[in-house]
Structure 1
């Protein structure tokens, strides 16, 4: 994010007044304008700055204070604007904009423990129709493609089936659509199952306590901790619309309920990319910076969901019992392996769900 083009000479006092006006208009004029500029209302913006100062150790530099650098950073994420746009709006040099973007980016990543969500398992007394059938369900996972900028020699492995140069990002969210784990950096050609195995094995990777599980699509193995749908059966929600398309057996009913519950990760990705345009456009950043940016966007997504009292792109859902799924490392699932026991458990669950549905609709 570097642009060395020199700005026209402007007296220092004039530049300072222009910056103050740009910052005031972007952040303090109204919650509406603040949300349009940064995706946060004024209160949430203040909370973020407080966390960055007091938890992440971010401090003002000699020329830019914390609030201004955070405002510039969020505006870039929200609108995917070029360096020169921020130069013009804040009357800053390209080097200043680029340097402070990276300073704030690293500070946001230091808020990981503060902002990453701890999953809450679904309990037996859950009343939400989407996941009441899935006791001990933690959430859902899936991959998504986000464009990246890589050297020419690496492009073949980063090329997706659609021909885009992208990283295959593994995202895991809870029932509220907050991210509990994000892994970016894998090549666009990499298989989803391979990325999941890496996430389980790596240090500080995805933790899945034994006895709990995430929902995943058929691109992943149906293995302990990861409940996949039945292959060869109808699955997508639109296939069940209308009385004539009602499930006719246990596997179909299971797939219908699975699709409804797993849809939370699709909605989470939709909200994430809708908020942060930098995840939708062509990337001009080095791969490492883009991967850091992806994780930062997920953390800020969680902050917005947590703090904003009005948010038109996120539903307010009941979290239920806030008993977190916690274990020691030895109690976490260490590898992914399809077993007869896990397949039989899925069959029993599907049969129980279908029988209960038939009884209620008799």
Structure 2
């Protein structure tokens, strides 16, 4: 985060978040201390050495800044915008009316012994299953935290779309999802049993069927959510190992990190852009018909088949003209 972005964050936390200077600490020191903890995942005793403050003071101001960060939700979360009919973006032009991509990621948390069984994921780690939804330009649109690591991705998604202030998917629009989710209205998944991951298309390999062609282009576009998660964990060390904070606080920390990610992306010149290449409510909402269930349908399956055939026809036409 450069100085201009830091100053903007302090201003937003003051004006929107209600974070005020006190007799003993200015807003910028409160924010700097908060960011230092997120970026380096340091204990209070280490922060005490760096900032010359007591452990109680550090804890109090960390929670004050975290509470103020939660008030920036509306301001910093990206408003979804569908891919336009005339889009020329090579990755997204096939996915007209698509809003972006979504996926789940596991983040290690600290929970009481009695809850560890529920939070234990398939790898045996104690985690929370976080649903992340991002736009084609790599900004978070929606984040749902709090689910146990043992929860299936599909279950978390069902909860997200059923919440009053949850994930809204207008009819006629959709997000790209991986094969772990159901291919249904509002959520376009790849074909199962076909090559999919970007690593499988290296060394000049080309798709041989419409389904492989669809999967290749789907993977290329949906990779944006993997990049978002990669950048998030690369930037904030507190998301890479079990937190010193209880799960309830850590869930808010995850949201704060996503909001900060968006702010940095909007300011431009993100220092992680180069590093990541190495890594694989609106007032009129009630008038819009939203998708409220996750169910397969012949119409949606036909939509995917038709799109796959169109992609493959263009690919073969391009090969023939070479």
Would you call these one fold, judging by a TM-score over 0.5?
Answer: yes
Task: Note the C-alpha offset of 1:203.
Answer: 1.8
Residue 314 of structure 1 corresponds to which residue in structure 2? 273
Superposed CA deviations along residues 227-273 of structure 1, whole A, max 9, x for unmatched, are: 00001111111111234x31111001000000000000000111111
Distance 1:300 1:284 in 2: 20
Equivalent in 280, 297, 310 of residue 240 of structure 2 = 280
Distance 2:56 2:128 in 1: 27
Distance 1:226 1:114 in 2: 26
Equivalent in 50, 70, 94 of residue 133 of structure 1 = 94
Distance 2:83 2:27 in 1: 40
Distance 1:89 1:248 in 2: 59
Residue 8 of structure 1 corresponds to which residue in structure 2? none
**SS state at 2:272 partner:** coil
Matched, 1:70 2:31: yes
Long gaps (5+) in structure 2: 275-281
Residue 6 of structure 1 corresponds to which residue in structure 2? none
Distance 1:46 1:330 in 2: 37
**SS state at 1:314 partner:** helix
Equivalent in 166, 182, 192 of residue 127 of structure 2 = 166
The answer (yes or no) to whether the contact 2:128–2:147 under 8 Å persists in 1 is: yes
State TM-score, norm by structure 1: 0.84
Task: Note the C-alpha offset of 1:330.
Answer: 4.7
Distance 2:23 2:246 in 1: 27
Matched, 1:256 2:213: no
Matched, 1:193 2:151: no
The answer (yes or no) to whether the contact 1:141–1:265 under 8 Å persists in 2 is: yes
Matched, 1:97 2:58: yes
Equivalent in 270, 287, 298 of residue 258 of structure 2 = 298
Matched, 1:345 2:306: no
The answer (yes or no) to whether the contact 1:209–1:327 under 8 Å persists in 2 is: no
Equivalent in 268, 279, 282 of residue 228 of structure 2 = 268
The answer (yes or no) to whether the contact 2:170–2:288 under 8 Å persists in 1 is: no
Distance 2:271 2:72 in 1: 25
Matched, 1:54 2:12: no
The answer (yes or no) to whether the contact 1:305–1:314 under 8 Å persists in 2 is: no
Matched, 1:226 2:184: no
The count of aligned residue pairs is: 312
Residue 44 of structure 2 corresponds to which residue in structure 1? 83
Long gaps (5+) in structure 1: 1-39, 316-323
Task: Note the C-alpha offset of 1:328.
Answer: 3.6
Distance 1:131 1:57 in 2: 39
Residue 120 of structure 1 corresponds to which residue in structure 2? 81
Distance 1:188 1:334 in 2: 24
Distance 2:156 2:43 in 1: 31
Distance 1:180 1:102 in 2: 24
The answer (yes or no) to whether the contact 2:43–2:244 under 8 Å persists in 1 is: no
Question: Based on CA coordinates, which of the two structures has the bigger radius of gyration?
Answer: 1
**SS state at 2:100 partner:** strand
Distance 1:327 1:360 in 2: 42
Q: CA RMSD in A?
A: 1.4
Task: Note the C-alpha offset of 1:137.
Answer: 1.1
State TM-score, norm by structure 2: 0.94
